[in-house]
């Protein structure tokens, strides 16, 4: 990353730009993703395990950086040679827009938040206030009903909380408020890296690209209106009882801890020049979201295969030797083994976290209801977008792998909210969204040309209209959150404290009705006898 100054000193600052090269972006993204993991190892594990696993991840990251920086014979096709320039005006826009969207999304709990932030706030609070590993003594519960229900004893905290490690570290030094501010900044850095990576794939930076990426979603407004007309229970995003994918802004509102690293890893996968570091990317995904790892695995395999093909007589063919050479590398083997041991044991320490599960037909009364929901899921969540980008990307194996993954994921349901598809779809849905946003941005830029012929002008405006339909729901969320956030801080209409602090801390749950969720999803009782806490944790 370097700043390119204007050649003429009399030019204004607006003529300056920042040049971002793919190689620099790749390094920055890997550091961003791996640093919280290493902090987790150091803070949570016994010293020898911490040193061993930290060295394994750090070594794999350094090897991946070295491999990505090597020149390939065909420089024109080398992804590491890509670069973009971000103009000063675009940087100023991002410096304003990124914190605003994150504030409206509830990151850091400074503005209006979704119900999920009751646990988000408690997670950061407890990582700051408690010694690592976090263990709760039930005697600290001050709500009599909660204390009576839990009784005596203790429980350990288990969840995929790696994203909070750096803010929590600052919080231990400077307090919870600083931790919340750092969380906002850390998330903002991740969102900027996502924009930079998307711009590298798009081959130029654009404010429109950023806005369309934030507001990208399925066509939720159509089934939502249909449900209103038919008097069916519905919400903007939850119009399909069991099968639905959340739009990008809604994911920021609810699962920024999974979506920000998940999107960034998807971009790194798309920019990968070979398959020698695919295992590292998949391993890092597992640290942040075990469900998202399921969805990205087919894409990782696809990338490994297509980058292992060699050209013979003008055709690319897959040969076993290059495939094995790319597959069995230290960077592909060591990180997945480490994270499966550490995080696999941590996640499975609480066997009750997932709740309801089973094949999807188990949750429907009739086959017709299942078929109807599945068709709506395919059409409105990604099918319309697929039709729009088909011509441009029809020969891209990564696209069809993503589509195939989205078609298969609904076969099984895990948890009441179906995290298996909501989070499992994160990477493949983001890939389709990224391709779609590039297509929409092209049409937006085309429509700015006043000399455009009528046919192309109408086609471009039609695409923008389609984007407006898809963006109806996320724009409503943005406006709603902005309004409620204003009322929180400048009027007495909304009590901020009551809304956010219904849990407060898992070690001192304020509202009794929150106990069941906390106990089921975050508590590991009898933790001393689990493999993770018995052998790995401090």
Q: Looking at the domain assignment, is residue 495 inside a domain?
A: yes
Residues 270/495, Cβ–Cβ less than 8 Å: no
**343-356 pLDDT per residue, tens:** 999 999 987 766 67
Flag residues of the chain having pLDDT under 70: 1-15, 72-78, 80, 311-315, 353-355, 450-452, 493-499
Q: Looking at the domain assignment, is residue 471 inside a domain?
A: yes
d(CA 509, CA 518): 9
Half-sphere exposure of 137 toward its Cβ, with a 13 Å CA cutoff?
4
Q: Looking at the domain assignment, is residue 512 inside a domain?
A: yes
Distances (CA, A) of 289 to 229, 230, 284, 326: 37, 36, 9, 25
pLDDT at 4: 46
pLDDT at 241: 75
Give the SS3 label for residue 327: helix
**Bond prior to 133 in cis (omega within 30° of 0):** yes
Q: Looking at the domain assignment, is residue 167 inside a domain?
A: yes
How many CB atoms lie under 10 A from the CB of residue 4? 10
Q: What are the tokens at 109?
A: 């709990």
Residue span of the structural domain in which 44 resides? 2-7+17-536
Beta strands in 258-354 (DSSP E): 309-312, 315-318
Split into its structural domains, the chain has a count of 1
Q: Phi then psi for 312, rounded to 5 degrees?
A: -140, 120
Residue 85: strand pairing partners: 19
- The angle at the Cα of 352, spanning 350 to 354, to the nearest 5 degrees, equals 105
pLDDT at 537: 94
Q: Looking at the domain assignment, is residue 12 inside a domain?
A: no
Q: Looking at the domain assignment, is residue 281 inside a domain?
A: yes
Nearest alpha carbon to residue 172 among 236, 140, 127: 127
pLDDT at 1: 46
Residues 140/506, Cβ–Cβ less than 8 Å: no
How many CB atoms lie under 10 A from the CB of residue 465? 9
Q: Looking at the domain assignment, is residue 65 inside a domain?
A: yes
| SS3 labels along 205-238 | CCHHHHHHHHCCCCCCHHHHHHHHHCCCCCCCCC
**pTM of this prediction?**
0.93
**489-501 pLDDT per residue, tens:** 777 766 655 667 7
Residues 522/151, Cβ–Cβ less than 8 Å: no
d(CA 325, CA 483): 55
Q: Looking at the domain assignment, is residue 334 inside a domain?
A: yes
* The length of the chain, given as a count of residues: 538
How many CB atoms lie under 10 A from the CB of residue 10? 6
Q: What are the tokens at 176?
A: 């919870």
Buried b / exposed e over 71-97, threshold 16 CB at 10 Å, is eeeeeeebbbebebebbeebeeebeeb
What is the DSSP pairing of strand 135-137 with strand 154-157? antiparallel
Q: What is the dihedral of CA 385, 389, 391, 394, to 10 degrees?
A: -90
């Amino acid at each position: 990353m370097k700043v390119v100054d204007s050649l003429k000193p009399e030019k204004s600052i607006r003529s300056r730009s920042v040049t971002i090269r793919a190689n620099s972006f790749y390094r920055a993204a890997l550091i961003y993703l791996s640093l919280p993991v290493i902090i987790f190892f150091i803070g949570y594990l016994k010293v020898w395990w911490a040193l061993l696993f930290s060295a394994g991840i750090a070594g794999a990251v350094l090897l991946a950086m070295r491999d990505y920086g090597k020149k390939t014979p065909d420089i024109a096709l080398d992804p590491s040679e890509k670069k973009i320039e971000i103009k000063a005006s675009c940087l100023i826009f991002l410096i304003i827009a990124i914190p605003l969207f994150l504030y409206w999304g509830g990151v850091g709990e400074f503005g209006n938040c979704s119900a999920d932030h009751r646990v988000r706030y408690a997670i950061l609070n407890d990582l700051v206030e408690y010694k690592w590993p976090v263990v709760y003594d039930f005697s600290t519960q001050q709500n009599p009903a909660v204390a009576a229900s839990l009784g005596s004893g203790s429980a350990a905290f288990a969840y995929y909380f790696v994203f909070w490690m750096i803010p929590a570290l600052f919080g231990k030094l400077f307090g919870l408020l600083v931790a919340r501010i750092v969380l906002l900044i850390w998330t903002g850095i991740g969102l900027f890296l996502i924009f930079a990576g998307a711009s590298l794939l798009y081959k130029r930076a654009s404010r429109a690209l950023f806005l369309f990426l934030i507001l990208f979603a399925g066509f939720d407004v159509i089934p939502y209106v249909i449900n209103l007309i038919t008097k069916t229970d519905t919400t903007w995003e939850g119009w399909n009882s069991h099968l639905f994918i959340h739009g990008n802004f809604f994911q920021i509102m609810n699962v920024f801890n999974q979506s920000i690293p998940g999107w960034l890893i998807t971009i790194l996968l798309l920019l990968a020049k070979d398959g020698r570091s695919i295992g590292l990317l998949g391993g890092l995904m597992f640290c942040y979201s075990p469900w998202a790892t399921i969805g990205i695995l087919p894409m990782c395999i696809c990338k490994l295969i297509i980058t292992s093909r060699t050209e013979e007589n003008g055709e690319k063919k897959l040969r076993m030797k290059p495939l094995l050479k790319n597959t069995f590398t230290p960077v592909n083997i060591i990180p997945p083994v480490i994270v499966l041991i550490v995080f696999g044991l941590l996640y499975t320490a609480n066997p009750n976290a997932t709740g309801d599960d089973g094949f999807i037909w188990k949750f429907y009364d009739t086959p017709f209801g299942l078929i109807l929901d599945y068709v709506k899921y395919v059409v409105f969540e990604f099918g319309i977008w697929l039709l729009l980008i088909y011509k441009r990307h029809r020969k891209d194996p990564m696209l069809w792998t993503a589509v195939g993954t989205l078609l298969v994921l609904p076969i099984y349901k895990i948890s009441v909210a179906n995290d298996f598809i909501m989070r499992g779809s994160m990477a493949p849905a983001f890939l389709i969204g990224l391709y779609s946003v590039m297509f929409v941005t092209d049409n937006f830029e085309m429509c700015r040309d006043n000399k455009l012929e009528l046919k192309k002008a109408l086609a471009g405006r039609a695409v923008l209209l389609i984007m407006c339909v898809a963006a109806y729901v996320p724009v409503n969320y943005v406006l709603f959150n902005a309004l409620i956030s204003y009322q929180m801080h400048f009027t007495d209409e909304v009590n901020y404290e009551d809304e956010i602090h219904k849990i407060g801390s898992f070690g001192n749950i304020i509202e009794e009705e929150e106990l069941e969720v906390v106990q089921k999803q975050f508590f590991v009782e009898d933790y001393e006898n689990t493999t993770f806490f018995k052998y790995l944790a401090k």
